[in-house]
Structure 1
Amino acid sequence: MTEEHLPASQKKEQQNIASTNPKRKKWLSIVAVIFVICAIIYMVWTVFFGHVEDTDNAYVGADTAQVSSMVGGQVAHVSVEDTQSVKAGDTLVTIDDRDAKIALAQAQADLAKVKRQYTQTQANNGSLSSQIQSTHDAIQSQKAQVEKAKADLERAMSDFKRRQSLSASGAISKEEYTTSQNALNTAKANYNVAQAGLSQAVSNQKVAQSNLDANNALIKGLDQETTPDVLAAQAKVDQAQLNLERTVIKAPVDGVVTNRNVQIGQTVAVGSSLMLVVPVNKLYVDANFKENQLADVKPGQAVTLTSDLYGDDVVYHGKVVGFSGGTGAAFALIPAQNATGNWIKVVQRLPVRVALDPKELEKHPLRVGLSMTAKVDLKSKS
């Protein structure tokens, strides 16, 4: 049956099918093109961008140097202002040093006194040695006196015994007998006195020897600079000298002065914080990556960074230094309490420390707290 003899309904159906086929082919072609484009985009992303992890939650940081007063006193002069650049060793603050100078003079006087005492102790050795020699001579003299008194005693005793035997027969008078007896008593007393003098001389020698030994113990094996008293006095002088030097407070590092809170005439205590010095040539970036971005991030990998300050025209180059010991939430002042019935999982962020190139920082200075965008090249060598 030819198309001319078909019913009207069949003719209409064939016309609809004929008009639908080109549209279907057109849509299939469009879908195929979209699929190819997506495949190309995926391949391009995988090849050129798939090896990069990036975040814009990154901020410039620095190990700032806090300038504190090591001595108390009144501020005599402040040499810097906020935002001023300083070099290490530049004078920042001067404290009135008159009290420190007096303390140093007192310590120096005490040191001189102790050194003089050492010299006196050393000189005492000669005096005590002379005393020992003198007591030796006194002992020899007392020994001679004892021998003389002993001889006198023996003679007096012999005379008394002879007169005692004569007195019994009446050959001598009673008066002569009494005189002989008194002479014996005197000789005994003189002998006892001589022995006591010898004992005293020996005792004096022992005392002198003891004093000499004690004096030697103070200086034996030492000289004027190494005796304990001199060392202690010297330490006080050194401390006083250090306190005097600390009245001039200097910059510990190169950097920029910030948060200055000291004024002329202000009385500061030991440990008072005066200002901060930010080492702008040693800045770093803490990039807070999501935890699901860190699987392939390793220390040593290259990082490119841009800042909101300079825009995309200035690119910094750095390296991953390491990872923080915990997430920001873990070290928050009030940590999150997840053991609750209405807990909702939140992706955490872990700070990653990135070191910056000092030469690039010198050309394009940054400041602490500025926002950065960091991109880690996962294919770079770690």
Structure 2
Amino acid sequence: MADADPAGRTLRIEEAEKKPNTLRKRLLGGIAGAVLLAGAGYGGWYALVGSHHIGTDNAYVGADTASVTPMIAAQVLRVAVADTQAVKKGDVLVQLDDSDARIALAQAEADLAKARRQYGQTSATSAALAAQVDARSADIARARAQLVSAQADYEKARVDLARRQRLAPNGAVSGEELSSANTALASARAALELARAGVAQASSTKGAASGELAANNALISGTTANTAPEVLAAQAKVAQARLDLERTVIRAPIDGVITRRNVQVGQRVAPGTALMLIVPIDALYVDANFKEGQLDRVKVGQPVTLTSDLYGGNVTYHGKVVGLSGGTGGAFALIPAQNATGNWIKVVQRLPVRVALDPKELQAHPLRVGLSMDAEIDVSAN
């Protein structure tokens, strides 16, 4: 019995050593099976789902902000908003001093009244000139009548002188009477020339009056008190002055949130000075920067699922691709890379893809410009 004990002990020891080896094999086999199963599951998921989606965490919220600038030069009287304040389209943002604008409007209105009065005066002048033309016509008629009378007197004086000259040799006409007849003929000749000059002068005066009438009519022809060029120019100045007065009140051009306000009361601003920005938080978008190797199947209109670091995975946004940028970020950098120098290392480029967000989802969970986003495009959709 003492000799059998060592053999049994050896057998038990060998059996005890085999048990861990068996457990190790089973454990390794289970792990290998799990790995194979996971690999098969991932392969199936990738074939059915993963291959139809591309994603990136290099995405940021953007917006087409509105820059608020004055259109006239003036002093700031009041600033009605502050940074982070929400505003609606049409809300008053800044009030400028309107004293100069009101004076300019009053001057423009006075100039308009003056232009209309001058038009009325020009119209009345035409009537007066027309009357002068009629009067000059009457003067011509009177001068012609005087010419006819002078012509008759001249003919009478000439005949009287000729008759006396025939009788003079017989002594029937005295020398004094003959001399008087000569004087009468000379006087009649002078009166005839004067009458002819009167006709010419009356005709010339009528011509001048007619020219003045034509020139005056040209100023008002085809126009009224509201369509005359001088009146229209004055009306334009009034409209400009009234517009400048309205521009002393600067209003919000869109709905949004005020940011980068850099205007203070008492400051004198010039046209084009940036006073503040308005961010339209209800019209935000996302620029997702995808690697160039991911973009072969990206098309406009494909759905996009997004999450933000602000809310985490509990909030999901749904958008769609609206366009791809015309170039990579590096292509439009301030100092673009010059790969032709020879110091070239290939770097995978990223192209911005513009994603439009659902306004209703933005209202429920507002975002801000510059926030990080995770974007995933379903490239299986056409």
TM-score (norm 1): 0.90
Decide which moves more: 197-206 or 24-33.
24-33
Counterpart residue number, 2:58:
57
Q: How many Å separate the matches in 1 of 2:335 and 2:305?
A: 33
The amino acid of 1:101's aligned partner reads R
Counterpart residue number, 2:43:
42
Instruction: After superposition, give the CA deviation of every residue in 1:163-209 in whole Å (9 maximum; x if it has no partner).
Output: 23334454433332222111111111111111111111111111222
Q: How many angstroms does 1:45 deviate by?
A: 2.4
Counterpart residue number, 1:371:
372
The amino acid of 1:116's aligned partner reads R
Inter-CA distance 340–70: structure 2 relative to 1 (3 Å threshold): same
The amino acid of 2:374's aligned partner reads T
| Root mean square deviation of aligned Cα | 2.1
> In the alignment, does 2:148 pair up with 1:138?
no
Inter-CA distance 112–137: structure 2 relative to 1 (3 Å threshold): same
Instruction: After superposition, give the CA deviation of every residue in 1:18-57 in whole Å (9 maximum; x if it has no partner).
Output: xx9x999997897676445423321122223221111010
The amino acid of 2:245's aligned partner reads L
Q: How many Å separate the matches in 2 of 1:170 and 1:270?
A: 108
Decide which moves more: 272-281 or 123-132.
123-132
SS at match of 1:282: coil
The amino acid of 1:275's aligned partner reads M
Q: How many Å separate the matches in 1 of 2:258 and 2:138?
A: 80
Q: How many Å separate the matches in 2 of 1:38 and 1:189?
A: 137
Q: How many Å separate the matches in 2 of 1:97 and 1:360?
A: 43
Q: How many Å separate the matches in 1 of 2:24 and 2:236?
A: 101
Decide which moves more: 28-37 or 262-271.
28-37
Q: How many Å separate the matches in 1 of 2:225 and 2:88?
A: 42
Stretches of structure 2 lacking an aligned partner (at least 5 in a row): 1-20
Inter-CA distance 52–269: structure 2 relative to 1 (3 Å threshold): same
Q: How many Å separate the matches in 2 of 1:150 and 1:118?
A: 48
> In the alignment, does 2:289 pair up with 1:288?
yes
Q: How many Å separate the matches in 1 of 2:119 and 2:185?
A: 55
> In the alignment, does 2:217 pair up with 1:202?
no
SS at match of 2:263: coil
SS at match of 1:240: helix
Q: How many Å separate the matches in 2 of 1:271 and 1:308?
A: 37
Q: How many Å separate the matches in 2 of 1:77 and 1:274?
A: 13
Decide which moves more: 53-62 or 32-41.
32-41
Counterpart residue number, 1:96:
97
Counterpart residue number, 2:308:
307
> In the alignment, does 2:178 pair up with 1:174?
no
Q: How many Å separate the matches in 2 of 1:219 and 1:258?
A: 55
Counterparts of 1:201-280 in structure 2, within 5 Å, are 201-280=202-281
Q: How many Å separate the matches in 2 of 1:85 and 1:135?
A: 78
* Aligned positions, number: 362
Counterpart residue number, 1:122:
123
Counterpart residue number, 1:16:
none
Percent identity, please: 58
Q: How many angstroms does 1:98 deviate by?
A: 0.7
> In the alignment, does 2:113 pair up with 1:112?
yes
The amino acid of 1:342's aligned partner reads N
Q: How many angstroms does 1:355 deviate by?
A: 0.3
Q: How many Å separate the matches in 2 of 1:30 and 1:305?
A: 35
Inter-CA distance 31–211: structure 2 relative to 1 (3 Å threshold): same
SS at match of 2:237: helix
Q: How many angstroms does 1:155 deviate by?
A: 0.8
TM-score (norm 2): 0.90
Counterparts of 1:350-365 in structure 2, within 5 Å, are 350-365=351-366
Q: How many Å separate the matches in 2 of 1:260 and 1:273?
A: 9
Counterpart residue number, 1:348:
349
The amino acid of 1:373's aligned partner reads D
Q: How many angstroms does 1:346 deviate by?
A: 0.6
Q: How many Å separate the matches in 2 of 1:353 and 1:37?
A: 35
Q: How many Å separate the matches in 1 of 2:374 and 2:158?
A: 123
Decide which moves more: 175-184 or 339-348.
175-184
Instruction: After superposition, give the CA deviation of every residue in 1:103-145 in whole Å (9 maximum; x if it has no partner).
Output: 1111111111111111111112221221121111111111110
Stretches of structure 1 lacking an aligned partner (at least 5 in a row): 1-19
Q: How many Å separate the matches in 2 of 1:36 and 1:255?
A: 52
Instruction: After superposition, give the CA deviation of every residue in 1:267-303 in whole Å (9 maximum; x if it has no partner).
Output: 1111111111111100000000000011111111111
The amino acid of 1:130's aligned partner reads A
Inter-CA distance 33–95: structure 2 relative to 1 (3 Å threshold): closer
Counterpart residue number, 2:186:
185
Counterpart residue number, 1:72:
73
Counterparts of 1:156-171 in structure 2, within 5 Å, are 156-171=157-172
SS at match of 2:298: coil
Q: How many Å separate the matches in 2 of 1:349 and 1:49?
A: 21
